[in-house]
Structure 1
Amino acid sequence: MIAIAAILALLCPLFTRMLCPELQLVRPNFQKKPIPAATGLSFLLPLACYPTLWPGIAFGMLGLADDLWGDRSAGGFRGHLKSLFSGKPTTGSLKLFGGGAVALAYAWSLFPHKPLAITVAAGVIALSANTLNLLDLRPGRAFFGFGLLLLPALALTPLSFTELWPLLIVLAIEWWSDARASAMLGDTGSNLLGALAGVFLVQSLPLMGQAVLLVLLLTLNLVAERLSLTATIEKTRWLKWLDARLGVR
């Protein structure tokens, strides 16, 4: 059984590379080189083996809708809400409300009849997903953000991650491809991994820790509404130094 799971985990990225052209999900990266643009699909099958991590799949499917049919003319919370209220809903608004509903449903399953805990946990999951989406503009950034978000959960519950080794195999393969600029996670992958990090965090952190993280994530997302993260990184010496080591530039 372990051998079969390992083989399937290794085959998922290969299958995704064949599927992306069929779905017309080959796009130019920041170097204008056409590459598979939704390799987050690789994570869907391994995640299906872990029922308690279902928000990752749900956010991944919402991200896939954006990859397939998304209109990039609207961006950020304000842009998608403005389009929605003007009668032109976008796949971004679908992610906004659909992702919020998924996060609330999962938070309710963890903390039933606890409104404050539900609100905080749902916010952490939804904003974690959007944060990785914001970072996924250059190779390696989203994976680095995923690792940073996971640090508190790893510190508090390290043994639980040993059960996720099929997912970790896919993660290692896709990180290598992403860092080398030979494939992109797309919204499928960035939303999936962000939601997954959020799930691990709300499972591990006490309410106060979640609240602090929620404030940090909300601040970052609001700042990104007004400032370009890529431009900010380029202008900040230590951020630029760190960013250059995450992947191809």
Structure 2
Amino acid sequence: MCRRRYAVALVEAARMLTAGYVILLMMSVAFARAALDLVRRFLQDHDMVDLNFRGERIPTACGLLLPLLLAAEVAVRLIADRAVTAGGTGPTVAAAQDAVVFWTYGLGVGLVAFVGFIDDAMGVKHVKGLSGHWSEWREQRVISTGVVKAGGTAIAALWFVLPISRNESIWQIVCQIVMLALMANGVNLLDVRPGRALKVFFLLFAAIAVEATASGYTSWYGWQGALPYVLPVLAGACALFRPDLQGKLMIGDSGANVLGFAAGCWSIMFCSAALQIAMLAACVLLHGLAWRSSLSHAIERHPLLLWLDLLGRGRT
């Protein structure tokens, strides 16, 4: 029965993609690519560059594209809300509640992008991973930019989860906050090879889309209601994917943290608790592996994971 439900969900998702959403996504990606050119030029002009695997100097922190696209969506929504108000028709209760969730989501993503950019711009490159930041504090009593990023991400998780919590238990709220924080850092932990973080993000998006469709969760509002939340980040990820995979830019913490945080927010808004628990468990496992050893070495030991990692990139 469960398999049949998810099969129906896949068919429904495919049907929805034929209803004009592909065209809308393509237009959004085209806009995102044009904006990416400006972001790359800005970062290069201000010496925000790093060496790629070929030893070439390429722009880093190009994930700034994602919050910029979301800011554009915020501007569009503000204009639309003003038009509704000027027309003499106030928003419905449901629309007002959705607006609160949207602003909370947008500010949370913005904060995650901001602290990620601080780490990109000021972070010490040789300090990597959870163990690295812990060693920096234990040995030198230095609060690294990674610690600042972790604190800012935790605040963003609290900021997003608490206002939208209605009937959830305290344990569910705590799990959602922890899951959000670990999701943001988890995608960032994977961003050590070209295209790896974005591949994981696309897999997360697919899982969330199928689960949301299959569960018929009441907060989904249909695909159209989810577009303001999903489309800016998804279009930005599509625009970043090819140049990141080719080693022509780095998305940086500014992008990787936003990808994980946004996907976590979508799972809370649109999916069942079962998927949220599964994502939390996966994040705990991922961080445990990262603490003990290299994730890249773990991937290289599993043929399927290695094949997926090298897909479109080859060995570097």
**TM-score, length of structure 1 as denominator length:** 0.88
Q: Secondary structure at the match of 1:79?
A: helix
**1:143 and 2:198 aligned:** yes
In structure 1, C-alpha distance between the alignment counterparts of 2:43 and 2:28, rounded to whole Å = 23
After TM superposition, what 4+ stretches of structure 1 lie above 6 angstroms from structure 2? Answer: 4-7
Matched, 1:96 2:150: yes
Gap change, CA 1:32 and 1:110, over 3 Å in 2: same
1:121 to 1:166, Cα distance in 2 relative to 1, 3 A: closer
Worse overlay, 177-186 or 154-163? 154-163
Q: CA deviation at 1:235?
A: 2.8
Is the radius of gyration larger for structure 1 or structure 2? 2
Amino acid at match of 1:177: P
Contact 2:29 2:238 in 1 (8 A): no
Matches of 1:25 and 1:248 in 2, distance apart?
26
SS at match of 1:35: strand
Partner-residue secondary structure (3-state), 2:236: helix
Identity in percent = 28
Q: CA deviation at 1:247?
A: 2.7
1:62 paired to 2:128: no
Among 226, 230, 239, the alignment partner of 2:292 is: 226
Aligned to 1:122: 177
Contact 1:104 1:119 in 2 (8 A): no
- Matching of residues 90-239 of structure 1 within 5 Å: 90-111=144-165, 114-155=169-210, 156-157=212-213, 159=223, 160-163=225-228, 164-239=230-305
Judge which range, 141-150 or 42-51, deviates more.
42-51
Q: 1:31 to 1:248 in 2, by over 3 A?
A: farther
Name the residue aligned to 1:39: 62
Find the aligned partners of 1:143 and 1:5 in 2 and give their Cα distance. Answer: 17
1:30-53 per-residue CA deviation (whole Å, 9 max, x = no partner) reads 222211111101112211224333
- Deviation of 1:73 after TM superposition, in Å, equals 3.4
* SS state at 1:89 partner: coil
**Partner SS for 2:187:** helix
| Alpha-carbon contact 1:35-1:182 (below 8 Å) kept | yes
Count the aligned residue pairs.
247
Matches of 1:120 and 1:139, distance apart in 2: 31
Cα deviation, residue 166, structure 1: 4.7
> Structure 1 stretches of 5 or more lacking a match?
none
Unaligned runs of 5+ in 2: 1-23, 75-102, 214-221
The verdict on how the C-alpha distance between 1:209 and 1:111 changes in structure 2, with shifts beyond 3 A counting, is same
Q: CA RMSD in A?
A: 2.4
Per-residue CA deviations over 1:55-97 (Å, capped at 9, x if unaligned) read: 2221111110000000133332333234345531000001112
CA 1:184/1:6 → structure 2, altered by over 3 Å: closer, same or farther? closer
CA distance in 2 between partners of 1:62 and 1:224 (Å): 21
Query: Structure 1 114/229 Cα, relative in aligned 2: closer, same or farther at 3 Å?
Result: same
How many Å apart are 1:102 and its aligned residue? Answer: 1.2
